[in-house]
Amino acid sequence: MAEVIPYSLFTDFDINLFKSGKHYRLYEKFGSHITTIDGVEGVYFAVWAPSAKMVSVIGDFNFWTEGEHKLNVRWDSSGIWEGFIPGAGKGSVYKYKILSSINDLKTEKADPYARRAEHNPKTASIVWDDTYKWKDEKWMKKRKKHNALDAPYSVYEVHLGSWKRKVEENRFMSYTEMADELVKYVKDMNFTHVELMPIMEFPYDPSWGYQVTGYFAPTSRFGYPEEFKLLVDKLHQNDIGIILDWVPSHFPEDVHGLGFFDGSALYEHPDKRKGYHQDWKSLIFNYGRNEVKSFLISNAIFWLDQFHADGLRVDAVASMLFLDYSREDGEWEPNMFGGRENLEAMSFLREMNEAVYLAFPDVQTIAEESTAFPMVSKPTDIGGLGFGMKWMMGWMHDTLDYFKKEPIYRQYHQNDLTFSMTYAFTENFMLPLSHDEVVYGKCSILGRMPGDEWQRFANLRLLYSYMFTHPGTNILFQGSEFGQSEEWNFQASLDWHLLQYEPHKGIQALVKDLNTLYKNEPALYQKQFSGEGFEWIDYGDSQNSVFTYIRKGENKKDDILVACNMTPNPQKNYKIGTPRKGKLKEIFNSDSKKYFGTGNYKNKTKSTKAKPWNYRDNSLDIIIPPLGMVAFKYSE
């Protein structure tokens, strides 16, 4: 039997932190670490398996022989097995063979802390370290300004496997290729941030990455870890932030993954009412177990620390918060107070956000939370969950329901759009038109729009124009920015050929200019989460299906007046009340010919009149195009 040299990276302090759920950089200790002991090169391995009675490392350096390299269990009842194996090195492929003390069951597992994994369908871990030299110092020093809550925050959501493929070679684009093409495109479109659907290693393509088996390894589908760092680096060098989808809500049952790791329910909750997700056929983390909390929070910190991520969008938060989520009566057990809230998950989320913001005060955590759970984006010291932002799912549902209606019926549904303003400032909301809205028979966003071809594209331009001038930040899924006609297909490239057609090219130009408008106009971002940044002019004109409102910044001179006409009937002399007298200049018109609009309904710079309207002393007659939005600003 080959020698395993006793060795440890853990101090007593590390062990105490781990056991108490407060060790947030476990990736520096667990996993495989290339090192040299007494002049001998090799790899230190460490794994948590408290129910094991034997753990051995099997790999290509010992012909996958069980028992050849047995790790040593620590004496301190931490459940950690560790040791140094001479001869192993960078690129060594390995797994842990675990003999459980429970019925002598054997499991063969990938390393939960591995930095690199084999390309699927292979499932082993790979010893890895990289010496990537970052070149994003300028961004990292000033990113607090870019990621602030009072900064423009317009996000392009991307699925790396389908954004653009090398069709002639029938393969994915690599991280390196994305560092060129994706970065160039996002910069040209003026988005401030990119959000990547999960890039942590996952075994099953149809899961889109939301069934993670390698929490510390960028998926090998697109290249090496340092190549992913290059993609992040290039985004930063072009003043673009990167948000990573993060999945602490559940994990798959694949035999090489975290499930039943040492023959026991180690990472998952042992009670199926809390530990099994019926919808996704996956396992739910045991948020009450300290070592599991350390694992998850360390993972969040890892991507911010090692890969310079600017934020984490936390997936399926609602499924974590409620014990009865997608469960019938009798399939869940109330908490100690008789309620349906998962108190352990709430505590974990608070601790995670506190740890993240303490270590990285210049990033954002964003909750995909679909219920009315209160104070998701409020500080933990006043009882909130501590997220920076929360997805505004109610706005998304109401808005898409409204826009799919024929314009003649919209007069009866005015409240669908006005309702969002009754709760818009209860959280720091992000407006989402995400991948979830363009799959499973829902149609593309364009496919929801009613009318003939011109009206469908005009409706889409109006939807985006309304979205970008509504309070809050926003996120738009790939393909939606040029009016993808078909639903999203994760197995194919976006329909880039559509850009040869004027209507699609017009949508793309509109989104590009809306991003510019958003970034250049302080009224659209300085108070985007405050009621002080929004004021209705008139929300009651249901007969004409017209909405008018004001967006406000720190200075009155930055005020922007917005008018939306939700019908194909142009409004040629539409009177609006204005906040003060002065000259108003049109700064945006969704009906511009540049966007495939008519170009026939433009507003010249006009002075207000001292004629009261909409409960204001001054007013102005404007032109609102059919299915169009116009925005005005006071002229100096």
Active-site amino acid positions: 315, 368
Contacts 24+ apart (CB under 8 A), 370-373: 370/318, 371/318, 371/321, 371/322, 373/318, 373/321
d(CA 216, CA 31): 10
Total residue length of the chain: 636
d(CA 415, CA 402): 9
For residue 235 the two structure tokens come to 């985004």
8 Å CB contact between 106 and 74: no
Residue type, 88: A
8 Å CB contact between 570 and 590: no
Closest-CA residue to 420 (of 390, 448, 396): 396
d(CA 449, CA 401): 10
553, burial (CB in 10 Å: exposed 0-12, middle 13-18, buried 19+) = buried
Where do we find the tokens 């990285």? 360
8 Å CB contact between 111 and 94: yes
CA of 552: how far to CAs of 155, 338, 342, 622, in Å? 22, 44, 39, 20
Query: How far is C-alpha 615 from the geometric centre of its chain's CA atoms?
Result: 42
Where do we find the tokens 């990621």? 147
d(CA 37, CA 488): 52
For residue 83 the two structure tokens come to 């040791």
